[in-house]
Amino acid sequence: MAEMKFTVSSSPHIRSNDTVKGIMRDVVIALLPAAAAGVYFFKIQALLVMIASVASCVLSEYVWQKLTKQKVTIGDYSAAVTGLLLAFNLPPTVPLWIPVVGGIFAIIIVKQFFGGLGQNFMNPALAARAFLLASWPVQMTSWAVDGVSSATPLGILKEGGTALPSLFDVFIGHVGGCIGETSALALIIGGLYLLYKRVISWRIPVTYIGTVFVLMGILGRHGFMSGNPVYEVFAGGLMLGAIFMATDYSTSPITPLGQIIMGIGCGLLTSIIRIYGGYPEGVSYSIIIMNLFVPIIDKYTAPKVFGEVK
């Protein structure tokens, strides 16, 4: 009998055909409905902001990798995704130098300083938004609908106003707000595409949105059980954050239980900030805060290794 030979190799032994480029391409495709809605409602200025943001992110990554003699990876679409997400978190009225500065900060400070793709400890687009909001609050909080200055639905709720846009307008996106966050319909379409392609799982989006729905209904803005949870879910950046940013591979837990904890934590923080904080929206800061706890969450939710003994 011929001697049988086996090849011994290190793990992992199960491999996937997925690539960074393929995953990021799917994310770009999923973002297109929201991008189209942003251009439809906010016109050419929204398109210019998106172009400036994407160009800034891609160029920043290219220049940095050239200067540091690294392999240029702009072809994997990750910088383009960051640029789109950053633009989606900006008002359509911002001067075009704002997304340029934000793109440089997101790519070089938040991403490349920590080792590049997969090494950043918080979402680059959200970190850049927080930086821009702290540095230029006036430009970052000016909203308009059909060219007329307007408060966001959450801003009206925060001030105790009653002249709210209809739920239908909030759902389709015909309200004041950031470029990519206003149309819940477009974001849901993109999210369903990502679920179909298995780029994301349901755990973080469903638990995040579900937690906000429950807490905003129970706690309410005007006392116990006084909330309008359906309106709170569709208004603001909840859909954008839950579907596209809290699910970022680099800054979200890898374990199923950890993802559920991440979603609940984001939902809890978002609800607390919306009700008790001084800022009408809490999505960005909630995700950034939970990003910092991801290593701890993964550590304590990791399943027992098969065959492991103490």
Q: What's the pLDDT score for residue 310? A: 66
Rounded to two decimals, the pTM is 0.90
Specify if 288 maps to a domain: yes
Specify if 14 maps to a domain: no
pLDDT tens-digit map of 257-266? 999 999 999 9
pLDDT tens-digit map of 26-50? 999 999 999 999 999 999 999 999 9
pLDDT tens-digit map of 60-94? 999 999 999 999 999 999 999 999 999 999 999 99
| Domain count across the chain | 1
Q: What's the pLDDT score for residue 162? A: 72
Specify if 310 maps to a domain: no
Specify if 199 maps to a domain: yes
Instruction: Tell me, letter by letter, the H, E, C secondary structure of the chain.
Output: CCCCCCCCCCCCCCCCCCCHHHHHHHHHHHHHHHHHHHHHHHHHHHHHHHHHHHHHHHHHHHHHHHHCCCCCCHHHCHHHHHHHHHHHCCCCCCCCHHHHHHHHHHHHHHHHHHCCCCCCCCCHHHHHHHHHHHHCHHHHCCCEECCEECCCHHHHHHCCCCCCCCHHHHHHCCCCCCCCCCCHHHHHHHHHHHHHCCCCCCHHHHHHHHHHHHHHHHHCCCCCCCCCHHHHHHCCCHHHHHHHHCCCHHHCCCCHHHHHHHHHHHHHHHHHHHHHCCCCCCHHHHHHHHHHHHHHHHHHHCCCCCCCCC
Q: Is pLDDT above 70 for 169?
A: yes
Specify if 307 maps to a domain: no
Specify if 136 maps to a domain: yes
Specify if 8 maps to a domain: no
Range name among 116-120, 124-128, 180-184, 271-275 with the lowest pLDDT average: 116-120
CATH number of the CATH domain containing 155: 1.10.3430
Range of the domain at 158: 20-294
Specify if 30 maps to a domain: yes
